[in-house]
Structure formats: C-alpha cells, structure tokens
Amino acid sequence: MNPLTEKNNELVKRFDRWLLVLRYSPITRDIYTRAARDYLKFLGDKFVTRSNHLDVQEFLAAQAAKGIRARTVIYKLYSMRIFFDFLNLGGLVRWSPPRFVHPRPVRREIPPSLTLEEVKRLFGAAKTPHERALLEVFYGTGCRTGEIQNMLVEHVDFEKRQIRVEGKCGARVVMFSKHAEKALRRYIGKRDQGYVFVSRTPLQAFRPSPSTSAHGGWGCHWKRYDKKGKFIGKGHAYISVRKQMSYQEAWAYFAKLGERDRPQRLLGAQPLCPAAIQKTIQRLGLRAGVKVNPRNLRHTFATHLLENGADIRVVQELMGHRNIDSTQVYTHVSRELVTRTFEEFNISSKALEIARGGVWPANQTENEIPRVYLREFMLKGFGDQLGRIKAGQEISCLIRFFRLNLNQSSYPFSTKFDLIFCRNVLIYFDARAREQVVRRLAGFLLPAGYFFVGHAESLHSMNDILRSFIPTVYTLAETPTEGTHAGR
C-alpha cells in the first residue's frame, strides 16, 4: 500500500476515535467516517492535507454524477467539514476547504406517511409478539430507530405508560398506549432488565466431531460470553479415543464441561441491530402489501396526530425535535388534510353571497344561539322562508364580508379588533410570508384582544409581538406602536 494512503487511512481511524470521545452515536460516526474514506479514495495518492476546495468540489460533482440524491451529497459535504475541523484542531491544516464550498440549498423533502388503512394492514400482518411489540412502539411513540434499539426494560414504566429513551437529541420520555402496553408485556415477559428488543438467536449446541489428530477421539468448540453477554472467545475440549465414548456420551460430556464457560448469551444483554429492526418492518410491509420502513412509521405518527387536532408544540415534544421547524414540515404532509381544509374554508363568491344574506335554517341554531339572543337579534321567516331565520339590522350592520389578499402590503381596516381568527390559513404560506401576514394582522389587534390559529400552525418565531395564551390562542406581547401594520 502507498505510504500516503496509509497515512490517510490512519487519519480516518483517529477521526473515528475523536468522534467517539465527542459521544457521537455509532450511526453518525459511521456516516462521517464513510464520507471521509470516500473522499480519500477519490484523492488517490494525494495526501489529504494538500487538498483544496477545488478537490472538494470535484469530489461532490463525482458523487452527484453517480445519481446520489442531492441531500446525501450535502450530508457528505457536512461530514467533510467535520473531518477537516478535526485536522485543523490537530494542526495538520490551517484552513478547512469544505467550508469554502457552498452548494444550493436543498428543498426540504415532504416525509412520506401511511394512511390509516395501510397502518391497519400492517398490524394485521404481525404474527409474533416481537413483531407486534415493535410495530406498536414505532407507531405509538414516534421513536427513532436508535432510540428503540437502546430502549431498556428498566426504563419502561407500565403504570404511567412511559418509556425513557436516549437518542441523537439526548434523553427524553415518551408515552405509549394501552395497546402498546399489552404488546410490550407479552413480549418482555418476566425480564426485568436488559434491552427491550433483543435478537432471538438459537441456543448454542454442543456438537462433537471426530478429532483430526492421529490418536482419534472426539473434539468440540463453543463460544464463551461474559456476564454482560459480550463474546470473549471460544472454548474447546478433547476426548481421547482410549475412553471409547459414543457420540451421545461425548455430547453429554462436552455439554457439562461447557456450562462453566457461560456458553449461552444472556437474553437482553445485547440490543437488536438497526438492520434487523429495518428488516422486521419491511417484512411486515411485504406481508401487508405496503411499502414501509421505520422512518415512515415515525412520520405517520406525527401526521396522524396533527390530522386529529394535536397542537404542533405537543407534537414537537413527542417527536423529540429541538427545533419546531423540523415539526412544521408535517403541516404540509397530508394531502387529505389540506384538501379537506380547502374545501371547508375556501371563500368563493357564492359563499360570500350566502354569508352576506345572513339566512340560516332555524333548526341549526336552536342549540347554538341562546333564546334571548334569537328573540332580540334574529328575524323569523314566513312564506317561502318559513323555517329559516335572518340576522337583524343590529347585527348585519356590524359585519362585512369581502375578499382579502393577505399578501398585500396593507389591509383596508379602519379599526382594531378584539378577536382575529386566522385558523387553517397560515399553512398555505411559507415561513417568511407567514411572518409578514401575522405581523400585519397583529397591528389591528386590540391590547386585550386574542389571535386564533389552527392546531397545525405555530407562531414560535414571532414572540416579540405575540405570546401564547393557550394552545392555538395568542395575545399581544406588547402594545404595537402606531403604524406597525403599515410598515410591515
């Protein structure tokens, strides 16, 4: 091997050890070191410390030419930045070439999710307690694969139905349903410690084999494990031909001899590997006829919560997101939710005319409007309007219905309001336009007024003007100065 190649490989090994010191997860370490090795392989006989930003650009171009996704190329660039930061920390380079490469921003991908019907088919395909428990925890908690892999039995609280998990964002507590509780109890059984999801490897068998030595006899080899279930080596023994043992006698002798070497791995001592978790979920998908992986189940968990009215801050906590922007993407996931919202709240010309008329079936308002208000402010219909009611002049003169383009720089309001309803509207705007719209509307809110948004919407980036009162309801953080709405 070329001496320069050996030096490059040695740097990657040291880089991996340094990532271990920084407590990066094994998956992250593998991604970073693999990207570093790919770059060194691309450089060939060139020493990594002599490469520059042009080499980095050529490497990324070569990766893109292979058909790799744009986001994966960005991940490789980020990994190389970490690698060169490590080299800079050790004094091997004075500058970081990847830091001088700035690709185009990659559009955030819409996470794929499953429908309720597909989820039901998945649960129907689960045959074993292991498959059922794994599926219940994935869909019922929204955990990441790494969090499920490291989940411990002693961290499962069946009374509170909570599990303490550890992942890339640190430790957090997740909740699970009664269905998941039943599945977990059945799967865990009498175990009170160790990993929740474990590999069900078959018991180690002692198989005597004829010895290859000149003296004949029987020989046997077996694996040995320590108290923590870690493989520590192999055990072996030999029976002389002079003892004239049969196969069954030799098997009994080796089995008794091997018991002292802890030949069976303690159940729960080693976690199920990520590849085995993924294969289990994919196997369920094949049976159910659904294309699925662990990441799909996590996205489905968040999407279904939002579709059923969960507050986005609650979903952020349940998903373990540090930044709510990561959660915000789920507000754009469900086409069914967007279509339903559009059909219910789209303001057409016909809808405006109906609203201006102020006429409703009387039976729809009996339980909605107090009788005293009906008598005082509403008019009963007669003739062809029998069975209908209409808003009186006292009410209709105070209400205006018209189209309003929220993207325009100013709004045609001459007064401020006690209540502003903006429910299921902001999801149609990007982050920048959303902030501009909210700031303009907040300029027309009275100091003691309330600003209403939908369950899938959040105003976390506008704490300087609006503060959360209760979920989906906001009040002014401070009284806006005169002309706030005009200057935004």
DSSP 8-state code for residue 450: E
Q: Tokens 């196969």, residue?
A: 247
**Which of 204-213, 297-306, 390-399 bottoms out in mean pLDDT, i.e. has the lowest?**
204-213
Domain of 475: which CATH number?
Answer: 3.40.50.150
Query: In this predicted structure, what is the pLDDT of residue 265?
Result: 57
| Closest by CA position to 472, among listed 421, 403, 430 | 421
Question: Nearest Cα to 96, choosing from 45, 59, 55?
Answer: 55
Q: Which of 365-374, 378-387, 467-476 has the lowest mean pLDDT?
A: 365-374
Instruction: Give tens-digit pLDDT for 18-59.
Output: 999 988 878 888 999 999 999 999 988 888 888 899 999 999
Do 11 and 94 lie in a common domain? yes
pLDDT at position 485, please?
Answer: 40
Together in a domain, 159 and 69: no
Is the pLDDT at 482 greater than 50, yes or no?
no
Top mean pLDDT of 148-162, 253-267, 418-432 is at 148-162
Q: What are the φ and ψ backbone dihedral angles of 467, each rounded to 5 degrees?
A: -125, 150
Same domain, 227 and 190: no
Q: For strand 466-470 and strand 445-453, is the pairing parallel, antiparallel, or unpaired?
A: unpaired
Domain interval for residue 124: 116-199+272-316
- Which residue's entry shows tokens 């040695």? 10
Q: What's the domain count of the chain? A: 5
**Residue 347: pLDDT above 60?**
no
pLDDT at 137: 93
Residue 128: Cβ-neighbour burial (10 angstroms; 0-12, 13-18, 19+): exposed
- Are 105 and 55 in contact by the 8 Å Cβ rule? The answer is no
Task: Please give the share of the chain, as a percent, with pLDDT higher than 70.
Answer: 86
Provide the token pair at 102: 């700035």
Residue 30 and residue 89 in one domain: yes
Average pLDDT score over the chain:
82
CATH of the domain at 187: 1.10.443.10
Residue showing tokens 């609006």: 466
Q: Residue 484 pLDDT more than 50?
A: no
The tens digit of pLDDT for each residue in 321-336 reads 877 777 766 765 555 5
What type of residue is 24?
Y
Q: What is the pLDDT of residue 84?
A: 93
Assigned domain for 204 exists: no
Report if residue 342 sits inside a domain: no
Secondary structure (3-state) at 467: strand
pLDDT tens figures, 356-365? 888 888 887 7
* One domain, residues 158 and 291: yes
Q: Are residues 225 and 293 in the same domain?
A: no
> Side chain identity at 384, as an amino acid letter?
D
* Alpha-carbon gap, residue 131 to 151, rounded angstroms: 16
Same domain, 220 and 190: no
In a domain, 195, yes or no: yes
Is 60 inside a domain boundary?
yes
pLDDT tens digits for range 90-141: 889 888 999 998 888 877 676 678 888 999 999 999 999 999 999 999 999 9
Q: Same structural domain for residues 149 and 55?
A: no
Fill in the amino acid letter for 68.
I
| 3-state SS, residue 476 | strand
Maximum Cα interatomic distance, the chain, rounded to a whole number of Å: 117
Determine, yes or no, domain membership for 250.
yes
Specify which residues 359 forms β-bridges with. Answer: 390
Is 183 in the same domain as 70?
A: no
Query: What distance in Å separates the CA atoms of residue 18 and residue 50, rounded to the nearest whole number?
Result: 22
Q: Rounded to whole angstroms, how far apart are CA atoms 385 and 377?
A: 17
- Give the CATH number of the domain where residue 15 resides: 1.10.150.130
Residues 278 and 191 in one domain: yes
Last residue in a domain, options 217, 242, 261: 261
Query: pLDDT (tens digit, 9 = 90+) per residue, 385-413?
Result: 888 888 888 888 888 888 788 888 888 88
Write the burial class of residue 65 (CB in 10 Å: 0-12 exposed, 13-18 middle, 19+ buried).
exposed
Which one of 70, 100, 130 terminates a domain? 100
Is there a single domain that holds both residue 217 and residue 355? no
